[in-house]
Amino acid sequence: RIYPLMRVTLTTSDGASVTVSRQLTKHSGFIEKAITDMAVDDNAVPLSAVAVDVDDATLKLVIEWLTEHRDDALPYPEKTDEERRADDIPAWDQAFVQKWDTKEDQQQTLYAVITAADKLDIKGLLDMTCKTLANKINGKTVEEMREILQLECDFTEEELAEIRKENAWCEN
């Protein structure tokens, strides 16, 4: 059992320190492993801070998400084939991501949260952010997808023509 009052200090890549409950960090495979490596059991407080390769602003977003999902079941359930869909994002998560839409660097925020979820091994957050991106490009044209994802076409004209030819196979 993890006691809510037990806290872990995390140091961010830009030097900030954040103290969070073990109730939240249990969702992060990376932090849990770091604590285990310190030979600390569930009932003890780690003596030293856990360094995470995530900046302070992004970590705050991650903690906000973890706070909402602190009671989610662990381990994160493996998705079956039927569940490989992107239209089942909980309402709170949708609102959480929509807040970034107003930001100029919305794309950068999403990128930062995805990489943070990957680095910290938070499967639920990673799953949700990838689904959000899938939803954003769902039903869009190639140009719209490039615009949404801020992608630059790195194909040569020949490569592009070849892929179009392959696609035309099906579109016909």
153 binds another protein (CB under 8 A): yes
Tokens representing 143 are 């140009």
Q: Which stretch binds another protein (CB under 8 A): 34-42, 51-59, 65-73, 151-159?
A: 151-159
CB of 120 to another protein, least distance (A): 13
CA 17 to chain CA centroid, Å, is 21
Instruction: Confirm or reject binding of residue 1 to another protein (CB under 8 A).
Output: no
Q: Is 137 in the site for another protein (CB under 8 A)?
A: yes
Closest CB 128 distance from another protein, rounded Å? 11
Burial class (CB in 10 A: 0-12, 13-18, 19+), 171: exposed
Residue span binding another protein (CB under 8 A) among the ranges 20-28, 43-51, 52-60, 141-149 = 141-149
- The nearest distance, CB 87 to another protein, in angstroms, is 8
d(CA 117, CA 74) in angstroms, rounded, equals: 16
Alpha helices in the chain (DSSP H): 22-25, 29-37, 56-68, 91-101, 106-119, 123-137, 142-149, 157-171
Our CA angle for 98, 104, 105, nearest 5°, is: 85
Does 9 bind another protein (CB under 8 A)? Our answer is no
Within 8 A by CB and 6+ apart from 108, the residues are none
Residues 46 to 65 in contact with another protein, rule: CB under 8 A: none
Q: What is the separation of C-alpha 150 from the centre of its chain, rounded to a whole number of angstroms?
A: 18
Distances (CA, A) of 86 to 20, 60, 117, 123, 137: 30, 25, 18, 15, 11
For position 138 contacting another protein by CB under 8 A, the verdict is yes
Q: Which of 10, 20, 62, 126 binds another protein (CB under 8 A)?
A: 126
Residues 101-120 that bind another protein (CB under 8 A): 107-108, 110-112, 114-115, 118
Applying CB under 8 A, which residues contact another protein? 81-82, 84-86, 107-108, 110-112, 114-115, 118, 126-127, 130-131, 133-134, 137-142, 145-146, 149-155, 159-160, 163-164, 166-167, 169-172
